[in-house]
Copies of this chain bind each other. A is one copy, B any other.
Amino acid sequence: MRQVYLDYSATTPVKQEVVDAMLPYFTELYGNPSSLYSIAAESKEALAGARKQVAELIGAEEKEIFFTSCGTEADNWAVMGAADALRKKGNHIITTKIEHHAMLHSCEFLEKRGYDVTYLDVDSEGRVNPADLEAAITDKTILISIMFVNNEVGTVEPIKELAAIAKAHKILFHTDAVQALGNVPIDVKELGIDLMSMSAHKIYGPKGIGALYIRKGVKISNYLHGGAQENKKRAGTENLAGIVGFGKAAELARTNLTEHIKHTSSLRDYLIQQVQENIDNVYVNGSMEHRHPGNANLTFEFIEGEAMLLYLDMNGIAVSTGSACSSASLTPSHVLSALGIPVERIHGTLRFTVGDMTTKEDIDYVVSTLKNVVNKLREISSVSSEKGW
């Protein structure tokens, strides 16, 4: 049976070149980068090389890249570190309703400990209105955190405008760029970003390694305390092989960016077009103009997402209902709710994400399978276009 992975936003396979780059650091060049002898010096150089590769992908300086254990840790560090460091200045944080749980649950934690958090609304395409941000700012606001690209609907936020507003008020601006990295061009200097979260496993690197960009001059508290690693800002023996893998993945992402965007967006567009041609009562969620190149978030009316997902899986096709880390939960997606999509439709929504390994044949297979699956489930369903909801 054909196997088609269309969940690149959940995680990506690690590219062979990336694995090859990592391998020596397990068995041969295993020195602890903090040690003083020669094989440790090689580890230290490997760290420096990877830092440069990540920095170059986003237009940062090497000194501004701090490796973390994942995108989640980068998000936690940014918000907890800013909240702690700026407590005297204020206790108000502004974010959005469509952030990843790494941000939302960190904010909820802070709310229970004396911080106020404003969760901005988004429009029906998932975009934040800069005027809403402007209006939410108070003299107690210490951090604005707005994601670069949403993980469910793929909407790209107007980061440059939003960061400019933060800057005008001298407020720190953080963006969760986990889904943006390697999928949209990012130049942190040009965009005016102070803090930015990244993760390797969304760009064909290994899982369990991420980074936080901290603009030179920005001071936030440490979050993992201990040894002097990462220029004394993030303790813990470095995930050497993981960092090397992230570096290599970042380099590939940088050199392939144009090609990657072209490849994924054309297949994604083909997928949407074919689905709309072959299946009725389908909706596309999110913005078509400001969108992650690989993302197609589609609602199939009158049927339920998990059922579709499992039928597709039986046919070798991997897609997701919302974000991977909420797939075990039953609450309807907070992102789709924020876009104003009616709950019964949210339940019938699937996220397809196309990646570098996807082919046109894959899409053809997915569309024909999907057509059967949707038909079958609509036959079983107690609701339909005739009967209504």
What residues of chain A have their CB less than 8 Å away from a CB belonging to chain B? 5, 7, 10-16, 18-19, 22-23, 26-28, 30-32, 34-40, 68-73, 75-76, 100-103, 105-106, 108-109, 199, 201, 206-209, 221-229, 235-242, 306, 309-310, 312-313, 317-321, 323-329
Contact = CB atoms under 8 A, between A and B. Distances in A.
Contacts of A201: 237
Given A14-B30, A69-B236, A226 B327 contact: no
Nearest to A38: B313
A35 B324 contact: yes
Identical chains in the assembly? 2
Q: Which of A26, A106, A236, A306 has its CB near the most chain B CB atoms (within 10 A)? A: A236
B101 A37 contact: no
A208 B76 contact: no
Contact of A224 (B76, B235, B240): B76
27 contacts: A7-B32, A11-B30, A11-B237, A13-B28, A14-B27, A16-B27, A22-B26, A26-B206, A35-B318, A35-B320, A36-B321, A37-B318, A68-B69, A72-B227, A100-B226, A102-B226, A201-B237, A206-B239, A206-B241, A207-B238, A207-B239, A208-B208, A208-B209, A228-B326, A228-B328, A239-B239, A239-B242
Nearest to A313: B37
B105 A34 contact: no
B237 A313 contact: no
Nearest to A316: B38
A76 B100 CA distance: 23
A61 to B, nearest CB: 21
A38 B31 CA distance: 37
Given A208-B240, A325-B226, A325-B227, A235 B38 contact: no
